[in-house]
Amino acid sequence: MAEPRPAHAAEAPGPGASPGRAEAARRLISLVDLTSLTGEETDSELDALCARATTPAGPVAAVCVYGDKVGRVRASLPASAVRIAAVANFPEGDADPARAREESAAAVAAGADEIDVVLPWRAWLARDHGAALAVVEAARAQAPVLKVILESGALGETVNVAAAAKACLAAGADFVKTSTGFAKGGATVADVALMRRTVGAELGVKASGGVKGLADARQMVEAGATRIGASVGVKIAQEAAAGMNTRTASTNAY
């Protein structure tokens, strides 16, 4: 059996793939984590979310939900190329490794492929780095793929963001991620670029929180993001597909 593709690697254009807008749209959509984190989603709403995960520009990377919603999402995405991500220690980011471990384990047992865990950023700012990293390590022990949400807006100074990203790299994370979307600030191009410089090519970088459409998503990817988390993932997909269709129509006109 072939080795699975690293979860943070972007898809390369296949043989014979035409360059230009259509290919760019497909590549961008393959980086989107289609996200719904109200915690109040009904089964029918989750089914509709999963139906949108396959777009005219191709499938998104993942559907991201709370752990107790994973079972329904798994039932809606059988044998799918779309991965399932679940959040843990979310959104508070408490210094509670038992919670991170239990939520991660339960989500994986229900069918999650990836865990997005919140770094205890208050503990990090208080210089209690051991307590913060204990949460990362607890989730790491359960997660097939681990994304660590740094809450970069709350960490503030670039030195804090860079140090946290470097520590998560050492702790075995697969991705570092900007934000929950529930705290101060969200994804910025500057933070994404800083995180990419800090972790190099070894980790994925996920931009989330405040990504409002296709233009934002493109800026994040240009800065170094290899995943885009967005509640407006459907909008991004629609805008990317519209661009693809514009390209196709233009080509067919000649």
Which residues are known to be catalytic?
116, 177, 206
Token couple for 223: 């800065």
Q: Which of 39, 36, 85 is nearest to 61 (CA)?
A: 85
Evaluated on CA atoms 35, 12, 177, 223, the torsion sign reads negative
Residue in this structure with the two tokens 């399932």, named with its chain if needed: 84
- Which helix (DSSP H) or strand (DSSP E) does residue 28 occupy? helix 21-29
HEC per residue, 168-204: HHHCCCCEEECCCCCCCCCCCHHHHHHHHHHHCCCCE
How far is residue 14's CA from residue 59's CA, in Å, rounded to a whole number? 15
